[in-house]
A and B are shown apart, each in its own frame.
Chain A
Amino acid sequence: MAVGLTMTDARTGAETAAADSARAGRRVARRHGPPRLLFLGAVALFMLTPLYVLVVNAFKPQQQILAHPFGLPVGTLTTRYLSRALHNGQFDLVRGYAVTILFVVAVNVLSIVLAGPVAYVVARSPRRRYRVLLLTFLAGTFIPSQVLVIPVVYVLKALGLMGTIRGFVLFETALTLPFSVFLYAGYIGTIPATLDQAAAVDGAGRLRTFWKIIFPLMKPVVATMVILNTFSVWNDFVNPQIILGPGSGLYTVTTGVYAAVSQYATDYTVVFPTLLLAIAPLLVFFVIMQRHIISGLTAGATKG
């Protein structure tokens, strides 16, 4: 209907004034015709070129990379460097995956277990102290993590958690709390409180009511937060680099990539395979779930 109206509008314009019709025609062509698609195609090419360079060169020997950086690995195709990158001397990428996945899972689970219940209490209680609490959490979303990392080192040392997995997971989880509580509380507010009352009549306590009745209804918002936290933990570089430190021997994918690539920046048979393996899991995840991921990450981006 709406589209039909604009089309008719353009046609009437074309019939009444010749000059206007020519301009309108060109405009329509620019928006929908081949020039627009050509332009978008060129931009897409530019956006994807780095990815293309990364993929083709991960399968080539150094000589081939230097001679034909944009060429397909025909004839010289080899997976030797990829498998070498998987078990690099500087850092074991397979172990890096395992450590990073462990962190991602731990932070996600802990974040849900901590933020879910408090968001429920805040959303359901009219008390002033909980409104103040929600505002305090909300203020937390504005704190840049760069400001935190130095004093957090101080706190973790005082608690004896510096350089430990527990300390790192605790801090990464804390970073997820403000936005999680804010998002969860808003979502719980849209779930009718009559559900809670029905559960209470059946004798369920508050904790049970939350986990058995309310939490299962929160799937969409929890999915958004899980996507957001997964990407921020997987891609985080500063916090694992500083809190875990090189001394701990614990490398995530990013700190491991840094250790492996920064020393051999001109050995492209190390650089390209390592980088490709570092991003492959998230890239595959992104391609499969792109719609959810784009909306989740965009929601996260606006939190600051």
Chain B
Amino acid sequence: MMTTLRTRRAGDGAATLLMVVPAVAVFAAMLVVPVVLAFYLSLTDWDGYSARPHLVGAANYARLFGDPAMRHAAVVTLLVAVVGTAGMNLLGLGFAVLVNGASRANRLMRVVLFYPHVLSALVVGFLWSAILGTTGAVNSLVTAHGGAVLPFLSDPTWALVTMIAVLVWAGFGVNVVLYLAGLQAVPRALVEAARIDGASRRQVFRHVTLPALGPVVTVNLVLSLVTLLKTYDLVVSLTGGGPAGQTQTAAYLILWNSFHDNRLGLGSAQSVVLMVVTAVLALAVTRVRRRGELAVFS
């Protein structure tokens, strides 16, 4: 009995290898090696062509922190991420509460709120720029009624606000769905007990539902933050980084430096920094939220 089992296992060795090795090889070659390479390339002057890039030490990092364009992009990226995260989550939670329930209107509404997420960010950007651009749909209407052109995309401040608004429009449907799943997991008994004790709906929401949603809130915040920190496609199609480079995000500059200016070493240094900042922010949010959750329950 023992021997047959053992021979079977030995015989299966080749089959098992055949099942494991291809996936591991692709994973290693396309994900693990590149992550390690990103750190190495960030210390070189690689131009995308030469087979042997030269080591330049920390020069890329020094340049990155000294360049005003990159500092501006960092500020824009953080603004997009923080304001966008707040917007997506306030709207996400608000609409989740509003459309919670199995009625036909609610189900329809969820689809309507979610559908922009299905579209590629590139198309969303082109579409909104056709609507809000200087000769776009809204401005055609405004000027036809004698109004002045609204600079949705041509004024730096307006353009940034427009970009964040479009990002929220396109993305908060996911937050709605996630918060809905969270709301449905809140024990009904808890809510009803509070209602019987005479709590108002608002009090129930504030003191029962919201604390019970704790972990879902954390997931949503981290998710929005991580997604928004790498905003790229929408910048390309909505503003093209303009006007005058004022809406360039970090990801936009990374790809611009790398593939327009052929400075892939510099681009690598930027992506390493972006990766570290993303990880730190995500961890910080999780940390703060966890402390908050404990405070609520204690």
Contact = CB atoms under 8 A, between A and B. Distances in A.
Interface of A: 2, 5-6, 9, 23, 27, 36-37, 39-40, 43-44, 47-48, 50-51, 53-54, 57, 65-67, 69-70, 114-115, 117-118, 120-121, 133, 136-137, 140, 142-144, 146-155, 159, 170-171, 173-175, 177-178, 181, 200, 205-207, 210, 231, 234-238, 242, 254, 257-258, 261-262, 265-266, 268, 271-272, 275, 278-279, 282-283, 286-287, 290, 293-295, 297-298, 301-302, 304
A175 B29 CA distance: 11
A47 B115 contact: yes
Contacts of A65: 137, 140
B72 interface: no
B35 A147 contact: yes
A155 B140 contact: no
B15 A66 contact: no
B98 A36 contact: yes
A235 B124 CA distance: 11
A205 B12 contact: yes
A146 B232 contact: yes
B192 interface: yes
Interface of B: 8, 11-12, 15-16, 18-20, 22-24, 26-27, 29-35, 37-38, 41, 46, 48, 95, 98-99, 105, 108-123, 126-131, 133, 135-138, 140-141, 144, 169, 174, 177-178, 181, 188, 192, 195-196, 200-201, 219, 222-223, 226-227, 230, 232-233, 236-237, 240, 251, 254-255, 258-259, 264, 267-268, 271-272, 274-275, 278-279
Nearest to B271: A147
B112 to A, nearest CB: 5
Most A-side CB within 10 Å, residue of B22, B27, B135: B27
A153 to B, nearest CB: 7
A286 to B, nearest CB: 5
B233 A238 contact: yes
Contact of A143 (B35, B37, B113, B117): B35
Contacts of B236: 237, 258
Contact of B23 (A177, A234, A235, A279): A177
Contact of A153 (B48, B169, B251): B48
B219 A302 contact: yes
Given A115-B23, A207-B15, A294-B114, A146 B178 contact: no
A117 B137 contact: no
Given A2-B188, A206-B16, A177 B27 contact: yes
A118 B274 contact: no
B240 to A, nearest CB: 8
A206 B9 CA distance: 10
Contacts of A207: 15, 18-19
